[in-house]
Amino acid sequence: MNPFSWSYRSRYLAGFLVCAGLMGFALYAQYQMHLDPCPLCIFQRIAVCIMGLFFLVGALHGPARPGARAVYAALITLGGAWGIATAGRHLWLQSLPADQVPACGPGLGYLFDSFPFLKMLKLAFTGSGECAKIEPILGLPMPAWTLIWFVILTAWAWLALRSTTRRPSSRAVQGATS
């Protein structure tokens, strides 16, 4: 099957399945590989879940109007932009020399409980020593993989607007039945 001739719904369902696979791998890495997620990893997981949610809703809804389809693509893009910014910040922290890495800070649960939302975001994005730890998977650190997937999934959402599967027009159906 040619992936460029898929319907809008099948493209969005594929996007959802990729997001579900990414979350499945994140949970595998956490519980089987014992790679505990830092605050920036958790924010990247949230971005994947947001994208997956809008891929799923878009696939189930399957709007016919291009404007409604663009709304789903824009919502997925917001999740993707959040993920790209978070993964980019994470990669930047990992690229710092050892003497410039910030000290390890409190966990995300403590930040949520102790600070207002905007202050918590600022503290989490400042990063901590645990965010600078590099655990390569197939030669790349985890944030590099998520950055690649955020870009691919965002492009996939917009590519789905150009579905090539067409419904027959009412005139063609009438002509065939006459």
pLDDT tens, position by position, 24-70: 999 998 899 887 777 888 889 999 999 999 999 999 988 888 888 89
- Decide which of 152 and 34 is more confident: 152
Q: What is the CATH number of domain 3-167?
A: 1.20.1550.10
Domain boundaries, the chain: 3-167
Which residue spans within 70-172 are E strands per DSSP?
A: 136-137, 140-141
- Digit-coded pLDDT (tens) for 98-135: 666 555 555 666 666 766 767 666 666 655 555 556 67
Cα separation, 56 vs 17, whole angstroms: 9
Give the model's pLDDT for residue 79.
Answer: 95
Would you list the DSSP string of 27-78? HHHHHTS--PPPHHHHHHHHHHHHHHHHHHHHHHH--SSHHHHHHHHHHHHH
pLDDT mean across residues, the chain: 79
Q: Hey, how many other C-beta atoms are within 10 angstroms of the C-beta on 82?
A: 18
